[in-house]
Amino acid sequence: MSEVERVPDERAAALEVRGLRVALPGAGEVLRGIDLSLSPGECLGIVGESGAGKSVLARTLLGLAQDDSSARVTGDALRVAGTDLLAAGRRARRRMRGRDIGLVLQDALQSLDPLRTIGAEVSESLAVRGVARRDRRRMVLDALEAAGLPGGETLLGKRSGELSGGMRQRALIASAIVGAPAVLIADEPTTALDATTAVHVLDLLGELRDRGTALILISHDLNAVARVADRVAVLDAGRVVEQAPTSRLLESPAHPTTRALLAAVPRGPKPATGPSAPSGSSASAPASPEFFLAAQGVTRSYDGVAAVDDASVEVRSGEVLGVVGESGSGKSTLARLLIGAESPDRGDVETSSPAPRVRLLPQDPLASFDPRHRVGRILALSRRDGAPSEEELLAQVGLDASLLARRPATLSGGQRQRVAIARALAGVPDLLVCDEPVSALDVTTQAGVLELLTRLQRERGLGMLFISHDLAVVRQISDRVAVMRDGRIVEQGGTERVYAQPQHPFTAELIAAGTPGPGATRRS
């Protein structure tokens, strides 16, 4: 196969895709006629749920899908930075990578080789092309600086595990841009990062776009996309169902898939349907006695480091307390202290009397199910007197009774979480502690589970502790909210009050990280 010459005209599209179809062995046709185009200095966001074909699209644009001889890639046009990927042979496609197109994946801990130094990783695309060692070092330092890591020399000898999450991701980006490629694909670049760090990385991507790189941002997170993308394409089952400038797509979506996606994104305050007001007063659910669970100045340390430091919170019947914070802030430890799985080093955990029945919704429901048990047995074992039957429990969480005979490992993530809710309900609880229950779910599934939890909580007047790193989710469900950082509670109060007038700077930072405007970082 002859190599097609690079097109020198700079105003030409950096990326042009027409009628792209990709069929993979075992999966059938994954992409069914994709049309996309991208100019230098422009950012195209690609959103869609898992299984829509986003990653396959990324691999095809890189020319990697074609390397599998049993894959079929066809179309009218597939031109990336001047190379015709439909006509080019294996060698030509490989040469294009790193030089004309770069890739940034999520979670640099996995995406950078943990056994190699940062210097080696960032310079790889140069080494592949035979760039001289002296030049390489200079280009690597330049790339690290462009990625927001100015003190590059000290990093060269380190390995990815020695860097913080944000720095790692920047190093990963540096490794993709060191060859100054015209096109950059970022596939979920901020998913593994804390919200505040993610914002900085997205801003960096925006800067790269402003300097002329054509950027494709693949993400499930509409907020991230809204922050950086000029246009957005919605992918569903291998087809682009809608493509429009960002602001228009977000404000007036045309396609039902887009509308469903947008509707599922948590936004705004807790819906006020039903009798309870969102300001923190106790529920008017019929005749439920007042239970509470309170932590008073609890501290818990591991290996000399305080995971929870002098924290005081209270969970009451009929009210939802949200606990929000980044990873490592101590949210889970606080939950464990409250339910009695751990004892505090200092401080007390008090309960009302009679003591409330507390049940947990764990972060990883699959691990909390005995792998030998089927759903029916799991529910039966957790039932207490006065609980409805197993079939009824499933019905209450919106699942069919046929799931009773299944094993949890064969269920989807959303189904598992619902079974976990059913199991908690089987214990006829007074208070529910929910530890990141929706973090691992797709946006639409997440919305369904949140709606279920809210409804159940209202109907039964349950008290609830809801832990999440996602402020928007917490806002949707909580009456009061506590913000945690490094083990301390930096702010606590009614959700809307905290949201509108944050007292602590960290709270303000969190809120800012969660609210983009379309093109918020664009320099005009």
Partner 1 sequence: MSAVTAARPSAGRWTALGAGGTVALAFVVVLAAAVAVPWLLAPVSPLAVSPADGFAPPSPAHPFGADESGRDVLVRIVHGARSSVGIGLAATALGAGLGLVIGFASGLGPRWLDSALGRVIEVLFALPTLVLALLLVAVLGSGTGPSVLAIGLATAPGYARILRSRVRTVARGDYVAYARLEGVGRARVLLRHIVPNTLWPLVATATLGIGQAVVWVAALSFLGLGQEPPSPEWGAMLGAGRVYISTAWWMTVFPGLAIVSTATALTVLGRRLSGATA
Partner 2 sequence: MLPAARWIAARIGRAVLVVWLVATIVFFALRSSGDPLEAILGGPGSQAGPDAVAAARETYGLDAPLAWQYLVQLWRIATLQLGDSYARRQPVEELIAAQLPGTLLLAVLALALAWVLAVAGATIAASSRGRAGRAVNAVIGGTEIVSTVMPQFWLGAVLILVFASTMRWLPATSQPGDTAGLVLPVITLAVPIAGFLAQVSRDALTEADAAPFALTSRARGAGETRVFLRHTLRHAALPALALSGWAFGNLLSGAVVVEVLFARPGLGRLLQEGALARDVPLVIGVVTVVAVLYVAVIIVSDALELAVDPRLRRAKRQSLAVPETAVGS
Nearest-approach distance from CB 362 to partner 1, in angstroms: 6
Stretch that binds partner 2, among 110-118, 209-217, 276-284, 455-463 (CB under 8 A): 110-118
- Here's the x/- map for partner 1, 359-398, by CB under 8 A: it reads as xx-x-x-xxxxxxx--------xx----------------
Contact call for residue 26 and partner 1 (CB under 8 A): no
Binding partner at 416 among partner 1, partner 2, none, C-beta below 5 to 8 Å by kind: partner 1
Binding partner at 124 among partner 1, partner 2, none, C-beta below 5 to 8 Å by kind: partner 2
Q: What angle do CA 36, 39, 45 make, to 5 degrees?
A: 55
User: What phi and psi values does residue 138 have, to the nearest 5 degrees?
Assistant: -65, -45
Binding partner at 220 among partner 1, partner 2, none, C-beta below 5 to 8 Å by kind: partner 1
Give the 3-state secondary structure of residue 344: coil
The Cα–Cα gap between 390 and 403 comes to: 10
- Here's the x/- map for partner 2, 157-196, by CB under 8 A: it reads as --x-x----------x--xx--x-----------------
Give the 3-state secondary structure of residue 93: helix
Stretch that binds partner 1, among 80-88, 197-205, 441-449, 504-512 (CB under 8 A): 441-449
Cβ-based neighbour number of residue 162 at 10 Å = 13
The Cα–Cα gap between 87 and 83 comes to: 9
- Give the residue with the Cβ less far from partner 1, 141 or 234: 234
Contact call for residue 48 and partner 2 (CB under 8 A): no
Give the CA radius of gyration of the chain.
25
| Tokens of residue 37, six digits | 């185009």
Binding partner at 125 among partner 1, partner 2, none, C-beta below 5 to 8 Å by kind: partner 2
Contact call for residue 154 and partner 2 (CB under 8 A): no
What are the angstrom distances between the C-alpha of 269 and each of 194, 424, 475? 22, 26, 6
Nearest-approach distance from CB 105 to partner 1, in angstroms: 13
Contact call for residue 235 and partner 2 (CB under 8 A): no
DSSP 336: H
The Cα–Cα gap between 260 and 110 comes to: 32
Stretch that binds partner 1, among 80-88, 219-227, 387-395, 507-515 (CB under 8 A): 219-227
- How would you write 378-424 as a 3-class SS string? HHHHHCCCCCCCHHHHHHHCCCCHHHHHCCHHHCCHHHHHHHHHHHH
- Here's the x/- map for partner 2, 60-89, by CB under 8 A: it reads as --x-x----xx-------------------
- Here's the x/- map for partner 1, 221-260, by CB under 8 A: it reads as x---------------------------------------
Stretch that binds partner 2, among 111-119, 255-263, 315-323, 458-466 (CB under 8 A): 111-119
Burial class of residue 251, CB neighbours in 10 A (0-12, 13-18, 19+) = exposed
Binding partner at 410 among partner 2, partner 1, none, C-beta below 5 to 8 Å by kind: partner 1
Contact call for residue 7 and partner 1 (CB under 8 A): no
b (16+ CB within 10 A) / e for 80-111: bbbbbbeebeeebbbbbbbbbbbbbbbbbeeb
Nearest-approach distance from CB 68 to partner 2, in angstroms: 9
The Cα–Cα gap between 457 and 435 comes to: 15
Binding partner at 81 among partner 2, partner 1, none, C-beta below 5 to 8 Å by kind: none
| Unique residue bearing structure tokens 């977000």 | 250
Q: Which residues bind partner 1 (CB under 8 A)?
A: 49-50, 188, 191, 219-221, 339-341, 358-360, 362, 364, 366-372, 381-382, 406-407, 409-416, 427, 439-442, 445
